[in-house]
Every structure is written in structure tokens, then in C-alpha cells.
Amino acid sequence: MQQSTNHRRSNRRRLAAVTGSILAAALSLPGGAAAASPDSAPVTAASLGLMQGFPPPADKRVTRDNFMEYPYSRWAFQHIRELQPTRDIFRGEGSVAPLAPRPVDLDTLKFDVPGDRQLDLKTWLAESVTDAFLVLHRGELVYERYFNGMARTSQHQMFSATKSFVGMLVLCLIEEGAIDPGKTLQDYIPELKGSGFGDATVQQVLNMTTSLAFNEDYTDPEADVWKYGYVFGIATPPAGYTGASSIYEFLPALGPAERAHGEAFLYATPNTDVLGWLSSRVTGKSVSRQLQERVWQQLGVERDGYMWLNELGEEMAGGGLNITAADAARFGQMILHKGQYNGRQILPEAVARRILQAGNPEPFNRYYNDIWYEQIGYAYHDQWWTFNNPHKAVSAIGVHGQFIYIDPVAEMVIVKQSSHPEAESMANEVDGPLIWQAIAEHLMGQP
């Protein structure tokens, strides 16, 4: 396993959610222009002329074949539903819960990051190829910035941050007694009997400690994750491909690995798709419908969300959610406020408290012993990450720089939406958490 203090590269693709790094490091621009490096001011979709004109020139078009390539992704991550089938998550008819502004000057802060570097927030936002960045402190909006054509109303692809929403739904069903976390998946979904999931418990799937034969290495053209990508239109299958076209065919076909369930954390996106299947089997409702009824129509959000589908109308529970940054902040604030928001108890308090727990670090780096697992990450539970900082902040995380970061000590929520060329970048995954802890400490010192 290759390790680096400058940038981590590993075969497991720790944060790779569904889309992972498929061609994400491609840095050639339309028309042959040189790409901006991640540590310089990033190009924008508008400055490149992407999808401008009727029709756009051929070399400026974002399509299903190039939308995961940088810089085409700078446009695509705000326009997924123009490229893939989707399903609405309706906000309902209720009024919008306002985000009370209380601006705080964070632009002048200086942050120490690895490599003996010091940088300000503006520089870091550019280096990490940010599209939206919001900070809530004690429920008030203290900082809000948009880039690359984004606005308060823009919906953005969340990738693996979706997993935390699905985990929340399953925790609610556990709290309500509809799911027993100690039962096996095959108890609820007989179709999984004999698969790598069959005899795993619900809790082991939630914690991603399943023994699953699944290769999420995007550098391996034969890896299972490519076949997963074929199911959801992320990649085009080769000629003659005869594998699964449905997620309900794909998941039962995954076999067990040569280790015991519960032994150690091992990141694999299909765990979340199984949880989506489980919650839908128990409730009789899609993941998007559950989110709509349980959260979106209660939260006072500004816009509908939507879920990425495949051609069969099946939802990508492992990474298909698209929402605005402001609505992601409302969701994070609701978790921080023990399930309360918009004058309502939206989630059971026990569920929100459980999400905010740091979790058990013991299985977290039993297989993974690189710098991130030893110094940045701390634990993973219930489809949520915990950072190894003094506040043990928890976060939903998605590739290419998507975060809903919740600091229960500082009473702070940070939302970051990005279109970074790299699925896993030093700027987002290492510098980001260090900067957010510094922001938390600064805000705690404010009157």
C-alpha cells in the first residue's frame, strides 16, 4: 500500500462512492487548453464555454461519456439530472426555514497545513476547487460563498455523502422497531442468502465491517466497481458485456471474502445500496420517498432534492443525492440540534445522538494503516465518518470534495460542495479538516 504525506493513493479507494475517480484525474481541457492544477485558481465551466450555445460546439459538450472527467465535471456536478435519469425529493408546500445571517470575517484567518504551508481561506477554497462553502455557528449563517456559477438555489451532486442519509433512515427504522440491527440481511431480504451480505448483520452493514468480495480499485479495469458503474450509467459496458443491469441482480451476485464479518472496517459502496434495499423492503417506499416524507417535507428546505436513477428506475443509494448547500446545512443543523429543526422534532433524538457519537476506532485502521487513518480519520459507524480532532467531529463525505461536517463541541456545521479533479485530494481530505477545526476554535472564541 503506497503512502504519502503529500497525497494518499491506495487500491481500496477509501472514499470512492459510486463515481469514485473514474477519469477524475484527466486534466486536458476542451480545445487543447492546459488545465489548471489543483493548487492554482481553478477554471470554471463558464470560462471554458462548456454547454454554451445552441447547440454547444462538440468540444464543449458535457456528455455521459465525459461528465466524470475534469474539467467537464465542473459543469456536470451541478447538472446531473440533465445527463442521467433522476427522481424528485419534493420539498412540500411549507414555508422555507430561514438561515439567520450573522457574518463573521473568516477571510483574514491564516491556517497552518502540512508541507510547512500557511494559507488563508480564500486560497484554500480555490486549491480545493470549491463550488459552495457554508458555515453555521449556533444555528446562524456566519459564512457563505459560491463559485463556478453556483448560487444559493443550485443543486449539486453529493456522491458518498448520500450514504449518511441512507444510514440515518435505517437508524430511524431501528429506533422505531421496524428493523433489528442484530438480525442478518437474509432475514429481511431472502434474495441475499448465500451472497456476501446474507449472513452479515444489519449493524455490520451499517458500519461497513462486512466480509465482502468487492474490489473498489479504480485503477483495475477488471474491478467490481466498474461493473457497479455499468448498472448506474457511470461507465459504458464493453461490447459483449452480459453482467447485471439491475442493482437487485448485482448485489446478490457479490460473494463473501475470506474473513469474518465484523472483523474490520472495509469501505465498499454496495453496503449502502443493500441498506437502501433493506429500508425500501421494510417500508415499501423508495429511498427518495422516505427522505421526502421523513426529512425534506419537515425541514423547511429551499428546493427539492433529487436522486440519480439507472435506466430501470432504480435509485443509486450509494451516492446519488443532489441537493443545495443551504439545504445540506439545514440537515446538518438538524442533526446537531438532536433531531429538532423548523420547530419540529424531525428525527428521534436517540438517532441524532447516535450519529454524533465518535464511534469505535478499534476496527477502523486494522486493514488501513496509512496517514489518513492514523492522523485524520478516527472511526466509521452507521454510514458516518468521525475525524480524529479534539472535537471528534462527524461528517458525511463524498468524493471530489463533498462534506457535511458537524462539530458538536463548537456547535458548528460546515457544508462544502466541490468539483476537484481528484476523487481524494490532499486539499479536501487533509487540509480541510485541519482548517475546519481552526475555524471552530476561532468561532468558539467569538462573543
One DSSP character per residue, 210-226 reads: --B-----TT-TT-HHH
State how far the Cα of 299 lies from the Cα of 98, in Å rounded to an integer: 11
Neighbours of 103 (CB within 10 A): 10
Q: State what percent of residues in the chain have pLDDT above 70.
A: 90
State how far the Cα of 7 lies from the Cα of 99, in Å rounded to an integer: 36
Of 73, 160, 164, 418, which is the active-site residue? 160
Nearest Cα to Cα of residue 276 among 310, 311, 248, 317: 317
CATH code where residue 189 lies: 1.20.58.710
Give a yes or no: residue 239 inside a domain: yes
Q: Using only the alpha carbons of the chain, give its radius of gyration.
A: 20
Confidence of residue 219 (pLDDT cuts 50, 70, 90): low
Determine the pLDDT at residue 447. 83
Question: What are the E-state strand segments in 64-181?
Answer: 86-89, 110-113, 117-120, 130-137, 140-146, 156-157
Q: Is the pLDDT of residue 39 over 60?
A: no
Read off the pLDDT of residues 102-124 as tens digits, 9 standing for 90 and up: 999 999 999 999 999 999 999 99
Confidence of residue 218 (pLDDT cuts 50, 70, 90): low
Determine the pLDDT at residue 223. 83
State how far the Cα of 2 lies from the Cα of 22, in Å rounded to an integer: 19
State how far the Cα of 395 lies from the Cα of 380, in Å rounded to an integer: 10
Determine the pLDDT at residue 282. 98
Largest CA distance in the chain: 65
* Domain carrying residue 177: 172-275
Confidence of residue 262 (pLDDT cuts 50, 70, 90): very high
Q: Model's pTM, two decimal places?
A: 0.92
Could you confirm whether 160 is annotated as catalytic?
yes
Peptide bond into 55 cis (omega under 30): yes
Determine the pLDDT at residue 236. 85
Read off the pLDDT of residues 119-173 as tens digits, 9 standing for 90 and up: 999 999 999 999 999 999 999 999 999 999 999 999 999 999 999 999 999 999 9
State how far the Cα of 248 lies from the Cα of 232, in Å rounded to an integer: 12
Give a yes or no: residue 413 inside a domain: no
Read off the amino acid at residue 309: L
Give kind and range of the element (H or E) at residue 404.
Answer: strand 402-407
Asked if 412 and 404 count as a contact pair (C-beta separation under 8 A), the reply is: no
Give a yes or no: residue 265 inside a domain: yes
Hey, CA dihedral for 394, 433, 26, 7, is it positive or negative? negative
Neighbours of 54 (CB within 10 A): 4
Confidence of residue 226 (pLDDT cuts 50, 70, 90): confident
Give a yes or no: residue 229 inside a domain: yes
Read off the pLDDT of residues 347-363 as tens digits, 9 standing for 90 and up: 999 999 999 999 999 99
Read off the amino acid at residue 13: R
Read off the pLDDT of residues 292-324 as tens digits, 9 standing for 90 and up: 999 999 999 999 999 999 999 999 999 999 999
Mean pLDDT of the chain: 90
Give a yes or no: residue 219 inside a domain: yes
Give a yes or no: residue 238 inside a domain: yes
Provide the domain count of the chain: 1
239: left (phi over 0), alpha (psi -120 to 50) or beta: beta
Confidence of residue 40 (pLDDT cuts 50, 70, 90): low
State how far the Cα of 188 lies from the Cα of 40, in Å rounded to an integer: 50
Nearest Cα to Cα of residue 131 among 416, 371, 387, 377: 416
Nearest Cα to Cα of residue 210 among 90, 356, 380: 380
Give a yes or no: residue 164 inside a domain: no
Nearest Cα to Cα of residue 131 among 45, 37, 13, 24: 45
Give a yes or no: residue 294 inside a domain: no
